[in-house]
Amino acid sequence: MACRFGLGSVTYAQAAVNALSRRGIRSRLVKLAARESKRGCAYGVETDCNDMKKAARVLTGAGISFKEIK
Amino acid sequence: MIYLDNAATSFPNPESVIKAVADAMYTVGGNPGRSAHKLALAAAGEVYVTRERAAELFGARPENIVFTYNTTYAINNALKSSYIYGTHVLISDLEHNSVLRPTAAVTGNSFASYSMFDSALELKGEERTHAIISSIRSKMRPLTRTLICTARSNVTGTPMPIREIGRYCRENGLFFIVDGAQSAGYDDINIERDNIDVLCVPGHKGLYGPSGTGMMIFSTSAVLSERIGSFIEGGNGVSSLDVNMPEALPEKLESGTLGVPGIMGLGVALKYVSDLGINRIAEHDSSLIQKAYMSLCFNKKLEIYSYEPHSPILLFNVAGKDSEDTAAELDSRGICVRAGYHCAPLAHKRASTPVGGAVRISVGYTNTEDEIDEFIKAVYDITGK
């Protein structure tokens, strides 16, 4: 099952994909739906829900701010 | 044709760069950061690759690379997005109009102003560095908050001691903006090590990328300083419902559609420069200028205004001849140079060139010794010696 992080800009979403890839976590860059982004027009990364905790640690370690989308 | 005007724009571009731009026109669709389809996301990925390569070359984070159209745009953006109204700005006495004009413009609207510190061209080494720092110190005022300086003059080819100036700026709370137009791809610049807040560079000179590309490169401390506001506001695909620009770089300072083919060409150009190595490029270029200088300096009908041992630039005139006339004669012999003031009247004044400025040759990595020999021969033909 796929889960998502919200990153804001496409630049940070791409940075997140790269950071996760370097640590062996598969993810893909996505544009968030309107319900997933309060201010409209945002990007995120989608990954396996089982990888979310590890992915969160990787992103935090890379200095990338994110929001977990429920 | 012999092209000796690389300080204006590099030519020819590497084949790989030309191919990258053409390929982008054929294969890259969508607008990065706007749509969600595969083409747009792929375009965003390509743009990010260029950010990564620029970040590696200049010691920054990819997210702190902001694309512009050239150095002038970068300097204007860097200054005007960080300027504190009413404060004093320091610039050197060698600055290009891309620094002088926006500085005069932002300070002209307030009760503050700008001052120029001495580039100490006559001195060398540690003595010169010490003189420059002393001059900066002497020009400081209670409201001085920004210093903008070229890393290397486009007129004399003289480098500035950026690292030492950066250290002084950091110690004295000055926001340090560097004009890297002649240094990018030639000098070793690391934005964090050199205490630079914003480095402004063109893609189309020493980086051998397409014209219409440039970058502002921000340090971590600049981003954290809260000095950076937005300068151009508009759409960038982020937080569209918010009337304010996003808080984070690069989108905070990138509005409107990016020039993707140019940026992709720039990405390939950055790889070209990194693979060659800037030391190798600098050694090649400066050796050609040294060859030119060692021949021309014996010609008594020439006035040589600047020679720096590690510079890709040489400035001269044929005695008694307008610089544009000399340039025209060289052009008739198939040699491309630039004459006049080079958009840098301050530097010409400092170098004591006559009315009409001077002739500048500026070499690039594709120039050869044979071409320099042809140039030397042409100059000697013109002087009749």
pLDDT of residue B110: 65
Over residues B157-191, the pLDDT tens digits come to: 999 999 999 999 999 999 999 999 999 999 999 99
Whether B251 and A18 lie within 8 Å, measured CB to CB:
no
Q: Is B240 exposed, middle or buried (0-12, 13-18, 19+ CB in 10 A)?
A: middle
Chain length of chain B:
385
Q: Which residues of chain A have a CB within 8 Å of the CB of B238?
A: 8-10, 41-42
Q: What is the ipTM of this complex?
A: 0.84
How far apart, in whole angstroms, are the C-alpha atoms of residue A27 and residue A16? 9
Contact A44, A13 (CB under 8 A): yes
The tokens 């397409």 sit on which residue?
B210
Whether B33 and A10 lie within 8 Å, measured CB to CB:
yes
A15 touches chain B (CB under 8 A): yes
Tokens of B107: 């300070």
Over residues B14-41, the pLDDT tens digits come to: 999 999 999 999 998 889 988 889 899 9
pLDDT of residue B241: 85
How far apart, in whole angstroms, are the C-alpha atoms of residue B62 and residue B250? 9
A39 touches chain B (CB under 8 A): yes
Q: Which DSSP string do the residues of B78-113 spell out, in sequence order? A: HHHHHPPTT-EEEEETT--HHHHHHHHHHHHTSS--
Mean pLDDT of B93-119: 92
Identify which of B98, B353, B85, B121 has the alpha carbon closest to the alpha carbon of residue B227.
Answer: B85
Identify which of B6, B10, B20 has the alpha carbon closest to the alpha carbon of residue B260.
Answer: B20
Find which of B37, B38, B39, B41 to mutate to test the A interface (most A CBs within 10 Å of its CB): B41
CB atoms within 10 A of CB B125: 8
Q: Is B302 exposed, middle or buried (0-12, 13-18, 19+ CB in 10 A)?
A: buried
Whether A42 and B239 lie within 8 Å, measured CB to CB:
yes
Of all residues in chain B, what percent carry a pLDDT higher than 90? 87
Whether B250 and A38 lie within 8 Å, measured CB to CB:
no
CB contacts < 8 A, A to B, total 61
Of all residues in chain B, what percent carry a pLDDT higher than 70? 99
Enumerate residues 51 to 70 of chain A having a beta carbon within 8 A of any beta carbon in chain B: none
CATH number of A2-69: 3.30.70.260
Distance between B63 CA and the closest CA of chain A, angstroms: 7
Mean pLDDT of B103-112: 84
Mean pLDDT of B253-282: 96
Enumerate residues 205 to 244 of chain B having a beta carbon within 8 A of any beta carbon in chain A: 236-242
Beta strands in A1-70 (DSSP E): 2-8, 27-31, 43-48, 67-69
Whether A11 and B33 lie within 8 Å, measured CB to CB:
yes
Q: Residue B109's pLDDT band (boundaries 50, 70, 90)? A: low
Mean pLDDT of B337-365: 96
Q: What are phi and psi of B252, to 5 degrees?
A: -60, -35
Distance between B237 CA and the closest CA of chain A, angstroms: 6
Task: Report the amino acid identity of residue B3.
Answer: Y
How far apart, in whole angstroms, are the C-alpha atoms of residue B228 and residue B254? 13
| Helical segments of B225-358, H only | 260-276, 278-296, 323-332, 345-350
Phi-psi region of B212 (alpha: psi -120 to 50; beta: other; left: phi over 0): left
Enumerate residues 248 to 287 of chain B having a beta carbon within 8 A of any beta carbon in chain A: 248, 250-251
Sign of the CA dihedral running B200, B203, B205, B211: negative
pLDDT of residue B236: 82
Distance between B148 CA and the closest CA of chain A, angstroms: 28
Chain A's closest residue to B42, CA to CA, is: A29
Tokens of B244: 């304010």
Mean pLDDT of B278-305: 96
How far apart, in whole angstroms, are the C-alpha atoms of residue B97 and residue B72? 9
Tell me the domain boundaries of chain A: 2-69
CATH number of B15-276: 3.40.640.10
Tell me the domain boundaries of chain B: 2-10+277-383, 15-276
Sign of the CA dihedral running B333, B336, B342, B347: negative
pLDDT of residue B225: 87
Q: How is domain B2-10+277-383 classified at the architecture level of CATH?
A: Alpha-Beta Complex (3.90)
Partner-chain residue, chosen from A14, A30, A39, that has the shortest CB–CB distance to B239: A39
pLDDT of residue B156: 96
Q: Residue B9's pLDDT band (boundaries 50, 70, 90)? A: very high
Work out the mean pLDDT of chain B and round it to a whole number: 95
How far apart, in whole angstroms, are the C-alpha atoms of residue B140 and residue B123? 22
Distance between A67 CA and the closest CA of chain B, angstroms: 14
Find which of A14, A21, A65, A66 to mutate to test the B interface (most B CBs within 10 Å of its CB): A14
Over residues B183-222, the pLDDT tens digits come to: 999 999 999 999 999 999 999 999 999 999 999 999 999 9
Which is higher by pLDDT, B337 or B231?
A: B337
Q: Is the pLDDT of residue B231 over 90?
A: no
Q: Which residues of chain B have a CB within 8 Å of the CB of A10?
A: 32-33, 41, 44, 237-238
Over residues A18-55, the pLDDT tens digits come to: 999 999 999 999 999 888 888 888 999 999 999 999 99
Q: Is the pLDDT of residue B83 over 90?
A: yes
The tokens 């990065």 sit on which residue?
B32
Identify which of B211, B210, B189 has the alpha carbon closest to the alpha carbon of residue B199.
Answer: B189
Whether A30 and B36 lie within 8 Å, measured CB to CB:
yes
How far apart, in whole angstroms, are the C-alpha atoms of residue B208 and residue B6? 9
